[in-house]
Homo-oligomer: A and B are copies of this chain.
Amino acid sequence: MDRYIAPVELAKAYRLINHGPTVLVSAYHDGVEDVMAAAWCCGLDFAPPKLTVVLDKATKTRELLEHDGYFVIQVPTAAQLALTNQVGSISLHDVPNKLARCGVELFHLEGVPVPLVAECSAWLWCKLISEPHNQQTYDLFIGEIVGAWADSRVFSGGHWQFEHIDPQWRSLHHVAGGHFYAIGEALDTNEKTAE
């Protein structure tokens, strides 16, 4: 395991996606692995932590995770802009060597059967909560986060460190077509909050 990859306690796992980044979804079933991009991924609950992700019926990744019942949501970095755009544009149904063509390198963590995408900033291992009506009607999938990790150079002490390190680590926020924004400046209030 990469020496920078550190576990994140499940109570703080929501912080890895709370700021609304575009994510990569990886899944595996019966010898086939795939990775896709998803702009529509969102927190759903704190404890146990859950998230939602929208997966089009045309994607192979969706088919794999529906069979396997597990998937990984990962947060790509600005350095992975081209990769993120490509895995969101090409389907494994059409391009059998999609992952190699997009420059995706996969790795494994002990005890996690789903492959993870290397060089991302954070990884959320999710167990699919089966909701057939949502999946069929809305392409909406719910996952319980059962494991979380982050690169300790960009997320440590329970907080993103974007403002302290190379901008190549910043998360990507998709608008449309090939157009994204990176996350920007930190803004803090001194107000007491309910959270």
Number of copies: 2
Q: How far is the CB of A71 from chain B (nearest CB, A)?
A: 17
Q: How far is the CB of A13 from chain B (nearest CB, A)?
A: 11
Task: Tell me if A194 counts as interface (CB < 8 A to partner B).
Answer: yes
Pick the interface stretch among A105-113, A118-126, A167-175. Answer: A167-175
Contact B181 A184 (CB under 8 A): yes
Task: Tell me if A189 counts as interface (CB < 8 A to partner B).
Answer: yes
Whole-angstrom CA separation of A40 from B41 in the bound complex: 9
- Kindly identify, within residues 141 to 195 of chain A, every residue whose CB is under 8 Å from any CB belonging to chain B: 142, 158-160, 162, 167, 170, 172-195
Whole-angstrom CA separation of A130 from B50 in the bound complex: 21
Whole-angstrom CA separation of A158 from B176 in the bound complex: 10
Pick the interface stretch among A1-9, A61-69, A80-88. Answer: A80-88
Task: Tell me if A39 counts as interface (CB < 8 A to partner B).
Answer: yes
Whole-angstrom CA separation of A134 from B184 in the bound complex: 33
> Contacts A15-B176, A39-B43, A170-B184 given; 17 further ones with Cβ under 8 A?
A15-B175, A18-B39, A20-B20, A40-B42, A40-B43, A44-B138, A52-B52, A78-B187, A133-B133, A170-B185, A178-B188, A178-B191, A179-B187, A180-B187, A181-B185, A182-B184, A184-B185
For the complex of A and B, 6 pairs with smallest distance between CB atoms: A20-B20, A184-B184, A42-B42, A19-B173, A178-B189, A182-B184
